Structure 1
Amino acid sequence: MNLKSAVRTVLSAAALGWLARAAWGLPVQIGASRAKVRPYAAMSPRYRDGQFHNTEPASVFAPEPESGIVKALVTRGKAGRPRMPIPLATPLAPAEAAEVAATWYGHSSVLVEVDGYRVLTDPVWSRRVSPSAILGPSRMHPVPLPVADLPVLDAIVISHDHYDHLDMATVQQLAASQDAPFVVPVGLGAHLRVWRVPDERIVELDWDESITVGELTLTCTEARHFSGRGLVRNTTQWASWVLAGPSRKVFFGGDSGYTPRFADLGRRYGPFDLTLLPVGAYDPRWPDIHMNPEEAVQTHADLEGGDASGGLLIPVHWATFNLAFHAWSEPIVRLVEAAEAQGTHVAVPMPGQRIDVLKPPEQKTWWTSLG
């Protein structure tokens, strides 16, 4: 074998090894097949023709002029990443959960305290939000604490099955370290069963269905989004959530585009002491499925019955994974400006920071120096 042939052989072996690592574990990461999901999904009135549907029709991508998303991906550079390291706060967990508080761990992972109960939303502790261990968006800041250091949870709520909201490794760690039920939209439980979460710990709800945990009521509510972990979309439901105790209420928006249906949710379930709403990963090419910061302020007002100054808005779905084309801090710059114009109260925690809604700290603009 000559030198050139030897080099080709080595390179081919390296490429095959890289592909094998990239594909390792893909089937189990993707979760349940359509056949395993269908018996649960088919019970929903919103499931027809093999898919779930939004009340207000939504396109995942708007028609693309000229260059397209591929060129945008190639040319965006480091626009969605900060120039400086993202600071972390030391997570605090009082012995007793508060009336209403939230600890933001990054992206949409939040420890919510409501009337003495603790609910964890969309827990994602993995380095990448992808079925592959070496490909896909990677975390821009460390997780503020290990899963094992979380306080005792009363419920784990998941909004939908996208990788940045439903993470297999984190689910399995929580299944082993906690006793709390996983409360999920209808159909999504099939993924958890594939990952060996005990069936008795899985609660699947459709929109406007509820479950009680002690005196805490968890209600699955509408969102405008889509689902899918592989090539097939919308085989499981997506949702927002109402977390209501005897005296306090929190709304978790999950992942959604803006829809006037939020005003209906406000009239039915609000007003809220706290709203946790997505503000990042928006783009004109997918306006129906990810709200922008100004729409988040409008959503908050809708949920508060038209009172933009009611309750407290904490932004989520930003800063942790680079999933769009806007600058890293742009969602918060725009959010703060829109909130000031509408008189909306906003708190922007750094990852790991706990916000007591009844005693919110003075806002520090920690993001401004990071770029």
Structure 2
Amino acid sequence: MNTSPVHNRKGSFLTQLFALRRKNQNTHVEPYIHDPVVDAPPPPPPKDHKRASTSTQRPFLGEEYINEKPLLFDVDLNVLARPPQPASQPIPVIQKIPPRIPAKAYSPPIIPLTPEEKARRRLAAQHQSELEKEAMLREEHERQETKRREKLEQERLEREEEEERKAVLQEELRAAALRKARLEREEREIEEQRLQELRERKQLEKERRLQYTKEMERWRAEQMQRAESQCSEKEEERRRSVEGRRMRVARMNEEVFSASTADRMVGWVTVQPPNMLAWKRRYYKFELGHAESKMLLYGNPREVVKPLDVLPLDGQIDSLAEWYEGFEELEAIPYSFALRFVDGVEWRMFADSAEEKDRLLVLLSEAAGIIL
């Protein structure tokens, strides 16, 4: 017994089909009418046939049932749609109709083949096999040829793409080389221009320095010439000043020592003590003696009991110097001079007038024993 899934499905389908058909036949209210044309068996085949025609082939059993599909739905729906009848009416009895079994289709007998027919069919099959093999070989050859052509076409396309890529790359390299050469040329031009500007600027600076050097040399020459002229003028002025001072000192010496000595040995002077920047105005008084000569400095004439400073003069004075003898800071101060001691101490002084300065120099030279 065949129990394959396909056979089971066919059997279950036919079983359900028969069950539905019996149910529809049992529920149908109309009686079965016998039709002699439908229920008659098929006519027998002719005796001289060799091969069953396609019209007399045995049909599939399911076709008859498939053709009778409308019977599955051959139910009077009006009966189901009718309203329920009252209980007093009798219930109609549905007559059960036995199922109709379809008749088997007639199948013609199978005629055995002769050896000639078998040989002919075998030759035809071999010829067909050879034709199919040739067709397969031809198709394989065409496929290989097509594949070869496609491969050649693909290689050609790849070569063209490679050549195009190489051409594009060569063009890009050429453009890059041209761009690099242009940039290098521009950089060289810029560098040459910068060097040229630098050389020109250096040349201008050199010329400017030369011009400045010439101007400075000319200015120095003028300054030296002016300084020499001023020095000569100053020397001449100093010489005249020294001669004039000697004449004034000689005359002042006669006047000082010919008159009252006490009145001529006092007066006012402004002094700058050593190691001090401030100038002090003092009232001076000279004491000339055989043992010691000195200069006394007071704050004012009314306070002459105790002097503020005492300058010993006898043998202590080195020189009386003018501003051009190493005291250039006194050049701007009129009637000024310096008192230089032998121990290196320096006092700077200036008088109120030229006459007062000459008288003070005469007294200092006389007290210190210095010849002016």
TM-score by length of 2: 0.17
Give the number of the structure whose residues are more often helix, by fraction: 2
TM-score by length of 1: 0.17
Give the number of the structure whose residues are more often strand, by fraction: 1
